[in-house]
Amino acid sequence: PYTDIIGKVIPRERRGSFFAGRQLLTGVAGIGAALLARQVLAAHAFPHNYAFLFALSGGAMFVASIGFWLIQEPSDGAVHPVVPWGMYWRQIGEAAAQMKVYAVVQFLTSFSMLAMPFYVVYARQKLGAPADAVGWFTLAQVLGGTVANLLWGWLIDRYGCWRTLAVASTLATVAPLSAVLLSPLGWPSLLLVVFLSGAAMSGRMVAFASAFLALAPADRRPTYVAVSTLLSLPMALLPFGAGVLLQHWSYAAVFALTGVIGGAGAVLTWFTGRGGQVPGTVQVELVR
């Protein structure tokens, strides 16, 4: 329902700014929440410190839910008759066909983000990073996403979400390959890698969200949401696959592999036409 509401409330030409602004506020709030949590955990003993944090989280969720009550959801004015199951399955097939380029790009480019959870482990196990370096890596990731959102919204509104996705995917490809090249300089060099990964991750989130709303017809958006969720299930297995590979391969080899496969997805985004069309395929309306 959230995606459908956003599609109705936020005009198409302002969705880039909306998603980027949302990510920017989330990043700033995340930094504040991390600092607050650190103070609470240090000032109170277990389990009172966690109970206090859970209460704060619940209160924040309650305040956030009020925003949905305040949204004036516009009606599309259309009559939505009950669709027979046979017709509904045909609509699912049509949605899957329409989203095939979107799904392939999302899957391939997600490989380059796969390495991000392992940068801290790599720095601790192989590069001698201290225990408190985890906080620095977290801060670098949040700062990367927060600062980059100032750029992503402008790019989407000016050049469209597909070109923005191409830039973000290229940046995501650079991150794991940079980890391989910069690791001889010591663990602090990976802070730059994590910063780039945070920036790329926020760009992918903003661009894919905008691209999906541009792709899905308003009257069938819930169906497209369901199909998109189904098509993204293989991505949930990627971290497990990376963990298996790390049992037999070095970190550098896994980082290089994720960068190469993610790079293939980035190349696909650059060679895709402005309408979301790969040469030799059926036209897909993916951007404005």
Express each pLDDT in 97-107 by its tens digit.
888 888 888 89
81 is a domain residue: no
Q: Is the pLDDT of residue 217 over 60?
A: yes
**Number of domains making up the chain:** 1
Residues 165 and 101: beta-carbon distance below 8 Å: no
Interval 49-78: pLDDT, tens: 888 888 988 888 888 888 777 777 666 555
CB contact set of 183 (below 8 Å; sequence gap of 6+): 122, 126, 127, 189, 190, 252
| Residue 7: CATH number of its domain | 1.20.1250.20
DSSP three-state, residue 11:
coil
Which structural domain range is residue 237 located in? 2-74+87-271
The answer to which of 14-18, 25-29, 155-159 has the lowest mean pLDDT is 14-18
143 is a domain residue: yes
Higher-pLDDT residue of 231, 218 = 231
The answer to which of 2-11, 91-100, 278-287 has the lowest mean pLDDT is 278-287
Give residue 253's pLDDT: 92
Question: How far apart are the C-alpha atoms of 158 and 160, rounded to whole Å?
Answer: 6
Interval 244-262: pLDDT, tens: 888 889 999 999 999 999 9
CB contact set of 255 (below 8 Å; sequence gap of 6+): 115, 118, 176, 177, 179, 180
Give residue 77's pLDDT: 57
79 is a domain residue: no
Q: pLDDT class for 13, splitting at 50, 70, 90?
A: low
Give residue 192's pLDDT: 94
Give residue 81's pLDDT: 67
80 is a domain residue: no
221 is a domain residue: yes
Percent of the chain at pLDDT exceeding 70: 81
Interval 166-210: pLDDT, tens: 999 999 999 999 999 998 999 999 999 999 998 998 888 888 888
Q: Buried (b) or exposed (e) across 193-215, using 16+ Cβ within 10 A?
A: bbbbbbbbbbbbbbbbbbbbbbb
183 is a domain residue: yes
249 is a domain residue: yes
Give residue 131's pLDDT: 73
Instruction: Identify which of 69-73, 138-142, 218-222, 281-285 has the greatest average pLDDT.
Output: 138-142
278 is a domain residue: no
Give residue 179's pLDDT: 92
- Average confidence score pLDDT of the chain: 80
Give residue 276's pLDDT: 47
Higher-pLDDT residue of 280, 114 = 114
Give residue 191's pLDDT: 92
Question: How far apart are the C-alpha atoms of 142 and 201, rounded to whole Å?
Answer: 10
* Token code pair at residue 52: 């206090």
* Token code pair at residue 41: 């955990």
